[in-house]
Every structure is written in C-alpha cells, then in structure tokens.
C-alpha cells in the first residue's frame, strides 16, 4: 500500500509482507560458512600433520580429553558446515536446521572447553568463539524464523 499522510504530517508506511523480506543474508551466509569450513579444515589438517595422534592427545591427564573433544567437534563442524551450505543453496529446510546444529555445537563445545581448561591455558579465543556462536545462532534463528516459507 502507498504511504498515507496523517493529520500530524507524518507518513505511515505498511510493514513489508513476508514475500518482501530480503534474502541478502541468505546469499552471503553460504560464503561465510565456507570460510568457516576452510578454517576448521586447516585446524584439523594442522593437528593431524603435527605428528600427535588422537590417542596420544587423549592420554594427557588434565586437558587431553577436552582437546580430543575439540578436535572431534571441529571435524563435525566441517561436515555439518558443508551440509548446511549445500542445503541452504538448494533452499532446503535442512540447511537452516543444520546451521542451528552447527552453532549449537560451537556454543556447547566452547563452553565446555572454557569451563574445564580456563585455569590451564589462555581461553580468549574460546570465549570469542563462544560469543560469536551464540550471536550467530540468535541472529539466524530470527532471520530464518521469518523466512521459513522460502524453504522446502
């Protein structure tokens, strides 16, 4: 509907309809997820090329199990990230569902790492990853909640 003039001189404009919601974020998001997949893949490759086996890592008494969990979850984030990208591009609802799983895992794992190794090592990057994951989960939850009709 066109803008309408009110008695006070202000114009009122109707809210955009669901079909008029923007999809720019949906276009950019797969590229950002792709960067995350690349960065996580590099981390996994660096770990396995370091010569330390996952078994050796797990045998370290204090932080071994947590670091093992971090490596396994990073591999999971790579796989889930790829699935999310493919399904978002195809406009499948599994795309945004996988996105929620991805950020949920990121938040939970970083919270566990932060709580367990906070006294042993610098956790500033873990805290940043936790905050970014929580913000991205919330932003995407709102965004995709308004655009469910775009997905099959």
* pLDDT tens digits for range 35-94: 999 999 999 899 888 888 777 777 877 777 888 888 899 999 999 999 999 999 999 999
Cα–Cα distance, 50 to 78 (Å, whole number) = 19
In angstroms, rounded to a whole number, what is the distance separating the alpha carbons of residues 118 and 141? 29
Model pTM? 0.77
């Amino acid at each position: 509907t066109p803008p309408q003039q009110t008695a006070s001189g202000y114009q009122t404009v109707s809210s955009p309809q669901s079909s008029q919601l923007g999809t720019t974020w949906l276009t950019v998001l797969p590229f950002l997820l792709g960067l995350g997949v690349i960065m996580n893949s590099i981390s996994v490759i660096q770990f396995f090329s370091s010569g330390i086996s996952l078994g050796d890592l797990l045998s370290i008494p204090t932080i071994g199990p947590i670091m093992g969990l971090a490596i396994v979850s990073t591999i999971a984030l790579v796989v889930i990230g790829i699935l999310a990208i493919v399904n978002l591009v195809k406009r499948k609802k599994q795309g945004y569902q996988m996105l929620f799983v991805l950020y949920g895992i990121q938040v939970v794992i970083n919270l566990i790492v932060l709580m367990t190794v906070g006294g042993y090592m610098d956790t500033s990057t873990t805290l940043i990853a936790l905050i970014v994951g929580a913000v991205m989960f919330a932003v995407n939850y709102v965004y995709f909640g308004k655009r469910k009709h775009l997905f099959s």
